Chain A
Amino acid sequence: MSLLEVRGLTTAFQTGSGEIAAAEDIAFDLDQGEVLGIVGESGSGKSVTALTIMGLLPRPPARIVAGSIRFDGQELTTLPDKAMQRIRGPGIAMVFQEPMTSLNPVFTIGDQIMETIRAHERLSGRDVFNRAVEMLEKVGIPSAAQRMADYRHQLSGGQRQRVMLAIALVCRPRILIADEPTTALDVTVQAQILDLLLDLRDEFGMAIMLITHNMGVIAETADRVLVMYAGRVVEEAPIARLFDDPRHPYTRGLLECVPSLVTERERLIAIPGTLPEPARRPPGCRFAPRCRHAIAACSAGLPPLTEQGPGHTAACIRIAELATP
């Protein structure tokens, strides 16, 4: 049994033009100590999936249409709010992209870390304080005891993200969901935060679900990868296989279209077209309108995920024909 088992998870939103599924039929496992990368662009459903697991989507307008989320054997989709609150923090914790808006400006960072500890554990005031300081030191905030009294605006972007990590990790979660944790940061700070995440994984043995649009961040950190497009998983593979032998044309396109420091090309290999809006998704394979390999049959029905090798699945009906010789 994996630590987290997601099966057939579909989350939909009530909108003016009817109910629209933001993430459909999502399935994956997450094991202890593992880093699962989830790659996708805007509208891929990656953040919605994460927020569904955390139970943080307001219902309505959001609704879990189908599927199950089992954390350590316990079903989360039917769990009452009170019980879910006890899972959030010590069970599953989350950090968000925007460290600017996710810290409360009128409380000190110390208050915000200590609030989290008090919500889950009965400790004396001094112990709570010490625990918060210890956590701030762990995430690399210098002179942590003094910084406890700082407010959000006194910290740099990188330090804010470190504080967010401290809040998420202070209850020693078994799973950390990191939603684009470095997207708003400079590359130098991004490298620091990614290193920190991996160090903390090694120290606490927690599992990490790392959501990003950046293939470089994936190459740097993940053990296994889920590629999402327009609300569906299009490919899942162990990290080396995904980079060495990607099967889905979208995955291949993503790997090709980003200029790197090592390759040299006259022109970039662009993916034509734009991402479909959730309300205007094409029939059949959602990538078909942008895919240079698309044929009529691609628009006939949703392609199922098929086995490509150990732990490797992809959803494209033309894989056999397109396979690299």
Chain B
Amino acid sequence: MKVLIEAVGVSKYYPVETGGFLRRSTRSLRAVDTVSLSVNESETLGLVGESGCGKSTLGRLLIRLLPATGGTIRFADADITALQGKALRDVRRSMQIVFQDPYGALNPRMTVEDIVAEPLAIHGDTANLSTRVTEILSHVGLPARARERFPHEFSGGQRQRIGIARALILRPKFVVCDEPVSALDVSVQAQIVNLLQDLQGEFGLTYLFIAHDLGVVKHISTRVAVMYLGKIVEVAPKATLYATPKHPYTAGLIASVPVTHPSQRAKSRAERRRLTGDIPSALDPPSGCRFHTRCPMARALCGEAEPATRELAPGHLVACHFAE
């Protein structure tokens, strides 16, 4: 297994002004806080967590769509953290993103051909443009005649195919899929998930698959990382993570997923080990382990010291004082 892209101690802080007109002060919102994570070549790394946990920010940091506050990002063994100008543009050819909202992500005034060809134009790579657009459209299951049409003429699922075509036309190695199916109707989601898997095989792609749907993530991922309030709390091969989650947050997340058959309903609602409360504010994260305010197993130590990430079994990383 070869690591394709890697974050080492990466952080993203946003300055936030608080306190009103007279007592203004600036604090930092720690969207991503000293995270280390690697994605292996040709695998799909699933990234899950509640909204506001920083998973989309982390995805954007990896492909340099956002500048990191601290830490190092390595792509194909090269440090890309500080690249600028042409060097940055060159490396970006290899890293693309598919966005969640197929309605907001496509310019309504541009034809499909212009949308899909725009990355080629940006990189000054316009030879055989029309043929290449047609070719990539056929890979994502759209007919050549789609080229002259506008985004509003397509359904949500078809628009997501256009977004995927735009991401793949530069033949990237690494693609961040940021909630690519969560805005779609359920009967259409499976089509797009299958398509992403087919394309991964055809083009040898490596995915970071960001989603909050644990079922979809289990289906598509090789390994899964769980994020909570700016920190990675657990990483494991998918079968291990779902069968034997070691972090209490991961266990709580999995227990919250609705059952698939009414016969699996818990006998009593009190029986279920549900997570209580909401995710705390990233402006003022809890001390020690950030999860301790919602953790059913929290002890005194958890509020005092931040847990180190430990490797409990090969490839199974957990940041919890008491996981074993």
> Does residue B283 face the partner (Cβ distance < 8 Å to A)?
no
Whether A243 and B261, one on each chain, are in contact in the complex, defined by CB atoms closer than 8 angstroms, is yes
Whether A272 and B276, one on each chain, are in contact in the complex, defined by CB atoms closer than 8 angstroms, is no
Whether A41 and B274, one on each chain, are in contact in the complex, defined by CB atoms closer than 8 angstroms, is no
Whether A192 and B274, one on each chain, are in contact in the complex, defined by CB atoms closer than 8 angstroms, is yes
> Does residue A126 face the partner (Cβ distance < 8 Å to B)?
no
User: Which of A15-23, A96-104, A253-261 touches B?
Assistant: A253-261
CA gap between A275 and B278 in the complex, in Å: 35
> Does residue B146 face the partner (Cβ distance < 8 Å to A)?
no
CA gap between A253 and B157 in the complex, in Å: 17
Question: Taking CB as reference atom, which chain B residue is nearest A192?
Answer: B274
Given A243-B262, A254-B186: A259 and B218 within 8 A (CB)? yes
Given A191-B256, A243-B261, A261-B257: A271 and B187 within 8 A (CB)? yes
Number of A-B contacts (CB under 8 A): 133
Whether A257 and B186, one on each chain, are in contact in the complex, defined by CB atoms closer than 8 angstroms, is yes
Given A198-B269, A274-B158: A265 and B219 within 8 A (CB)? yes
CA gap between A87 and B258 in the complex, in Å: 33
> Does residue B80 face the partner (Cβ distance < 8 Å to A)?
no
Q: Secondary structure at chain B's binding surface: helix, strand, loop or mixed? A: helix
Residue from B157, B188, B215, B278 within 8 A of A261 (CB atoms): B215
Within 8 A of A (CB), among B176-191: 185-191
Whether A219 and B261, one on each chain, are in contact in the complex, defined by CB atoms closer than 8 angstroms, is yes
Within 8 A of A (CB), among B218-266: 218-219, 242, 252-265
Whether A270 and B272, one on each chain, are in contact in the complex, defined by CB atoms closer than 8 angstroms, is no
> Does residue A42 face the partner (Cβ distance < 8 Å to B)?
yes
By a CB distance below 8 angstroms, the chain A residues around B29 are: none
> Does residue A199 face the partner (Cβ distance < 8 Å to B)?
yes
> Does residue A216 face the partner (Cβ distance < 8 Å to B)?
yes
Question: Taking CB as reference atom, which chain A residue is nearest B259?
Answer: A219
CA gap between A289 and B115 in the complex, in Å: 29
Within 8 A of B (CB), among A175-198: 186-192, 194-195, 198
Whether A275 and B274, one on each chain, are in contact in the complex, defined by CB atoms closer than 8 angstroms, is no
> Does residue A295 face the partner (Cβ distance < 8 Å to B)?
no
Count A-side interface residues using an 8 Å CB cutoff. Answer: 47
> Does residue B287 face the partner (Cβ distance < 8 Å to A)?
no
Given A214-B186, A262-B260: A192 and B193 within 8 A (CB)? no
Give a binary string over A242-285; 1 marks a CB under 8 Å from any B CB, 0 the rest.
Answer: 01000000000110011111110101111110110000000000
Within 8 A of A (CB), among B262-292: 262-265, 269, 272, 274-276, 278-279
> Does residue B142 face the partner (Cβ distance < 8 Å to A)?
no
Residue from B185, B197, B256, B269 within 8 A of A188 (CB atoms): B256
> Does residue A36 face the partner (Cβ distance < 8 Å to B)?
no
Given A191-B258, A192-B276: A240 and B190 within 8 A (CB)? no
Smallest distance from the beta carbon of A4 to chain B beta carbons, Å? 23
Given A259-B218, A274-B155: A188 and B187 within 8 A (CB)? no
Whether A195 and B260, one on each chain, are in contact in the complex, defined by CB atoms closer than 8 angstroms, is no
Residue from A215, A261, A272, A274 within 8 A of B214 (CB atoms): A261
Residue from B216, B242, B252, B265 within 8 A of A220 (CB atoms): B265
CA gap between A158 and B264 in the complex, in Å: 25
CA gap between A205 and B275 in the complex, in Å: 26
Smallest distance from the beta carbon of B293 to chain A beta carbons, Å? 13
**A-B contact list, 30 entries, CB within 8 Å:** A156-B278, A156-B279, A157-B278, A187-B214, A188-B253, A190-B258, A191-B255, A191-B258, A191-B275, A194-B258, A195-B269, A195-B272, A216-B257, A219-B261, A220-B259, A239-B262, A257-B186, A258-B186, A258-B189, A259-B190, A259-B193, A260-B215, A261-B242, A261-B254, A262-B260, A270-B194, A271-B187, A274-B158, A274-B188, A275-B187
**Which 6 pairs between the two chains have the least Cβ-Cβ distance?**
A216-B258, A270-B190, A259-B219, A268-B190, A191-B256, A274-B155
